[in-house]
Amino acid sequence: MSWDSLAFLAQSSLLDNYHRATLEGKIVIGILVVFSMFAWSVMASKAVQMGRARKLNTLFREEYRRQKSVIEIHERRVKVEGCPLFIVYVDGCLELGQHLKPPRQPGMPRSLSLKAMELVKGALERSVAREALRLEAGLILLAIAVSGAPFLGLLGTVWGVMDAFGGVAAGIVGSATLQMMAPGVAGALITTVAGLMVAIPSMFGYNWLVHNLRVLTVEMDNFAQELAARMEVEFLEEHGYDRTPH
């Protein structure tokens, strides 16, 4: 028997079992179809978003390391949409600009106190946290599909089996032979199959996306530390304290 014949038989069997399912089972399958649509849309959109973010992060990191001053890109008013590292960089530069002191003498660089540097580091940490939450948005739908779909399928199966045995008890089906019980049980089991067909792809997609999210978060953390260190080297006052008179 060819693979095409086996596929046709499997499809026919699934369709037959769906038609044998009870009304409650078909409602559960309908809910699972909606779950599957949401899960696949989330997986597709987040995969595109994270892939674009990683590509832009690589390009921005190369440009950032070529600049002579830490705020050179910011002063050029460059804009890069969808790049997490660039957003962290801009937030850090904006906070830095609020605390930089004017030069004490012409030709001297602007300076930053130790207390102000701590505020800049706090702004960088908050920016990293916001970007991580933005990248994570939507993954809860996949988590719900992974954990909830098998239980919904099991609910439909238990309900269908309960109706099948209830029909035997009421004398509707007739004698409790295997031939009489098999169609009702097969129709009930189709909801478990539907639940697993939703949960299994969602599980693989969720784990892959969580891994990529963890990689992007680590990259942002490392970049924030590198940016803060470079700001300290260029702007932090000597001895790390504010020597202006009070």
Q: What is the pLDDT of residues 77-119, one digit of tens each?
A: 888 888 999 999 999 999 998 887 766 655 556 777 888 889 9
Amino acid 49: pLDDT = 93
Residue 122, both tokens: 């706090």
Amino acid 106: pLDDT = 59
Q: How confident is the model at residue 155 (pLDDT cuts 50, 70, 90)?
A: confident
pLDDT value at 169 more than 90? no
130 closest CA partner among 97, 92, 87? 87
Q: What is the pTM of this model?
A: 0.77
Angle at Cα 110 formed by Cα 108 and Cα 115, nearest 5°? Answer: 135
The string of DSSP codes covering 95-131 is: HHHHHPBPPSSTTPPPBB-HHHHHHHHHHHHHHHHHH
When the pLDDT of each residue in the chain is averaged and rounded to a whole number, the result is: 81
Residue 165, both tokens: 């045995």
pLDDT value at 124 more than 90? yes
Q: What is the pLDDT of residues 29-88, one digit of tens each?
A: 889 999 999 999 999 999 999 999 999 999 999 998 888 888 888 888 888 888 999 999
Amino acid 57: pLDDT = 94
